[in-house]
Structure 1
């Protein structure tokens, strides 16, 4: 009679130990809010660089140089994370470092003196951007990877990721609204970025104080404190064999190359819509639909496979993009309504976009037997930033093609607004089509990933997992 009582007590204790607290979930969301304000500020980098007198062509060169460094530092950092073993966690120590590194590097990027020679501006911009890129890697890989060390429960991971994305969406929208409204009243780019950086860093602190990496603690206890060490060859093999990780994050690369209007928000507001402040009003119109889309995504994931939801949201966004191009920008009401409708797929995609990396991690471990958390999430960060770099480089090169003149307040040539609009819309449409075609190759689903997770954790055998899977891998 005593044995069943002991087993029941042990199971109850494990459930309580594995439970992610509400404080942790809120802190996780707050970290994403702060982090994505910084990311949102970098979205204005092209506009800022041209405002301080750097030509569009040179901005593209700066972006490309920085991303060569990014291509090197992301995988290296992922490997370092899988090899370095801190006493106080796998990911938390890196997050604590990032609270200082991110705001400092962001401020340095936005305080380029306007009176210095162009060569000096280019050197400053390149070095500061490289520093920011490194600092962002320092926080981006750990904050996504930590969900795999906070809990083994797939539902808890989805919950954490959903909370993080909701806070990230809110941060992106607020940045899109706030910066165009307050930038000039606060005295320009530098003051605005300093204020937002201080506030954002404060949002990131609670996660560093309250998060607990339970899975790592359990693995150490189970293995007698031993740490797994992998060679460079193991890490390369982990990525080479993880085709779904490569498919999912490589898909947007072509889209980024073609979607030249991705960083043209303030330019379109200035030259097509009549003023920079209009960008804020358009962002306001997107808030409610985006949040509704995010909430819908969370509910739909309880009933349907999340990849199907993600895929159809992209299709809806593509259709809206076509309608937006046909409608044009002359009728402000139609423009605002179409952008507001675009908030629904935006919210859905934003919630789900990073839900697939933990799935790819489970698939990678299932295929290779290697627990490469750092490498997997470094790949996510690398592709995300590479997409941004390609979009930035493509957009500024496209600006030169349509005759853009750098300098804040400069009058553009006749017909510039129409060219700006056409390039922006057609690039988005063609890029969206290419993304959907590539994503069609992705075959992982929630049911099979759950089985892989159970197999990876020793709850079921590989034979038992494969017998129940929908697809064959």
Structure 2
């Protein structure tokens, strides 16, 4: 039987999930992404506008990441060990986050303007730690839930890929709405904007708590592992480590998001320019994303991901070289760059379930909580792009700003030097290109493919024996 026919055979099993169940799962990603975008896309701007020095903000942001290094690992182990009476692993945790995520999102944007710089930083640190903990309680369970919903790899890949589309939608809505609201044309405060976004977050996260089902149950014996086995699992699961090494390297140098509104305001004349770029650059993603499942039936997922990263490096470097003086050329190049970026964004977090299957096949340990903890840690660790961007920008003599909105900033007529504006451009365009280019190094050694993951999943589910699995694999692992 040819490889093409084998792929058709693998696609034959019917879906295990219902349409309503899948929709509720995707809806959760909208709310989760809205909260994440509100912090990832606007928190740095908010902190830069409440009268705090850039280096102090950056230092505080780095410090809160120390909690990330602890809480994800701790919760990953707790997630694998805690058993609920319902027999579910993910849904009880997800239901806790329906209140925790929106509340902590609102809290962090309520820093009183009368506080000293030190008190403002303390408020920020406490608020961020609370939000970060709530996000951890959501991230590991929601990604693990798909492995409980179905063990059909094609269906699972499709669900996760479309979930990324919904997450992109949540990010898009938040970026558009929040930018317009805090812009110099409307003048909402960040606190008011965060409250409005958080109300939508609650509404979109509720459905999965009602519709979600965990039909694939993990045997209790598979969950019992000690610390030594966990370390052995991580050392043996090289593809988990390779993938997230690249993910972290590229992520912490994606510094453009942290300063996007200032790029629009100072380099293109209005904070609202970023909404135009968001709409135009999202168009290719919106077109490609619904087709991703069809594409993945013909192209190996990681191969597509790898070359999309290469394309992003090339197009991103051209954007940097061309500059921002020719606005129409800049717009065209950014739209072109968004094509590979859309592919990267859509499928980048669909690899963790693959490494879970590989890890269990390789070690006999089902440590999915640890694997998803690594994913959650990596996703949040990439928010170091914010302080990294601020550290870089501070080297170019950025003038500290104290304004509640861009409307107030406009009335204050605060200008930045030519050197500061050059630093703004470098931070927004060149640094992300360097990060993605460096990420290609660990990605080069990632050799796990879709066909072999499906074989491993069948063995892990007890459908085939190890000799049958090893005979069906394309290479020795």
Global fold match (TM > 0.5):
yes
Question: What's the CA shift string for 1:403-442, capped at 9, x where partnerless?
Answer: 1122142321233222311243221222121111220110
Please give the alpha-carbon distance, in whole angstroms, between the structure 1 residues aligned to 2:160 and 2:51.
40
Please give the alpha-carbon distance, in whole angstroms, between the structure 2 residues aligned to 1:424 and 1:340.
15
Deviation at 1:151, TM superposition (A): 1.0
Task: Say if 2:249 and 2:435, in contact at 8 Å, map to a contact too.
Answer: yes
Please give the alpha-carbon distance, in whole angstroms, between the structure 2 residues aligned to 1:174 and 1:337.
22
Please give the alpha-carbon distance, in whole angstroms, between the structure 1 residues aligned to 2:211 and 2:249.
39
Question: What's the CA shift string for 1:105-151, capped at 9, x where partnerless?
Answer: 11111111111111110110011011111111010111111111111
Residue number in structure 2 paired with 1:397: 391
The answer to whether the aligner puts 1:139 opposite 2:138 as a matched pair is yes
Task: Say if 1:255 and 1:428, in contact at 8 Å, map to a contact too.
Answer: yes
Task: Say if 1:92 and 1:208, in contact at 8 Å, map to a contact too.
Answer: yes
Deviation at 1:235, TM superposition (A): 2.1
Task: Say if 1:78 and 1:377, in contact at 8 Å, map to a contact too.
Answer: yes
Task: Say if 2:393 and 2:420, in contact at 8 Å, map to a contact too.
Answer: no
Task: Say if 1:362 and 1:452, in contact at 8 Å, map to a contact too.
Answer: yes
Task: Say if 2:101 and 2:135, in contact at 8 Å, map to a contact too.
Answer: yes
Please give the alpha-carbon distance, in whole angstroms, between the structure 1 residues aligned to 2:344 and 2:255.
20
The answer to whether the aligner puts 1:371 opposite 2:372 as a matched pair is no
Please give the alpha-carbon distance, in whole angstroms, between the structure 1 residues aligned to 2:248 and 2:366.
27
Task: Say if 1:260 and 1:423, in contact at 8 Å, map to a contact too.
Answer: yes
Residue number in structure 1 paired with 2:48: 50
Which of residues 275, 281, 288 is equivalent to 2:270? 275
Deviation at 1:246, TM superposition (A): 0.6
The answer to whether the aligner puts 1:149 opposite 2:148 as a matched pair is yes
| RMSD between aligned residues | 1.7
The answer to whether the aligner puts 1:41 opposite 2:38 as a matched pair is yes
Task: Say if 1:448 and 1:469, in contact at 8 Å, map to a contact too.
Answer: yes
Output the TM-score relative to the length of structure 2: 0.91
Please give the alpha-carbon distance, in whole angstroms, between the structure 1 residues aligned to 2:56 and 2:432.
23
Residue number in structure 1 paired with 2:190: 189
Please give the alpha-carbon distance, in whole angstroms, between the structure 2 residues aligned to 1:228 and 1:311.
33
Question: What's the CA shift string for 1:223-263, capped at 9, x where partnerless?
Answer: 7xx78422222222222211100110111333344444342
Which of residues 283, 290, 296 is equivalent to 1:288? 283
Task: Say if 1:296 and 1:348, in contact at 8 Å, map to a contact too.
Answer: no
Task: Say if 2:162 and 2:290, in contact at 8 Å, map to a contact too.
Answer: no
The answer to whether the aligner puts 1:306 opposite 2:305 as a matched pair is no
Please give the alpha-carbon distance, in whole angstroms, between the structure 2 residues aligned to 1:358 and 1:212.
18
Task: Say if 1:325 and 1:426, in contact at 8 Å, map to a contact too.
Answer: yes
Residue number in structure 2 paired with 1:12: none
Deviation at 1:329, TM superposition (A): 0.6
Task: Say if 1:169 and 1:347, in contact at 8 Å, map to a contact too.
Answer: no
Please give the alpha-carbon distance, in whole angstroms, between the structure 2 residues aligned to 1:458 and 1:272.
59
Task: Say if 1:317 and 1:345, in contact at 8 Å, map to a contact too.
Answer: yes
Question: What's the CA shift string for 1:6-53, capped at 9, x where partnerless?
Answer: xxxxxxxxx89x720000110111100111011111121111111111
Say how many residue pairs are matched: 451
Please give the alpha-carbon distance, in whole angstroms, between the structure 2 residues aligned to 1:471 and 1:405.
57
Deviation at 1:351, TM superposition (A): 1.6
Cα gap change, 1:32 to 1:451, in 2 (>3 Å) = same
Please give the alpha-carbon distance, in whole angstroms, between the structure 2 residues aligned to 1:92 and 1:186.
39
Which of residues 222, 240, 243 is equivalent to 1:245? 240
Output the TM-score relative to the length of structure 1: 0.92
Residue number in structure 1 paired with 2:5: none
Please give the alpha-carbon distance, in whole angstroms, between the structure 2 residues aligned to 1:132 and 1:338.
36
The answer to whether the aligner puts 1:75 opposite 2:76 as a matched pair is no
Q: Secondary structure at the residue paired with 2:121?
A: helix
Matches within 5 A, 1:324-473: 324-389=319-384, 391-407=385-401, 408=403, 409=409, 410-473=414-477
Residue number in structure 2 paired with 1:63: 61
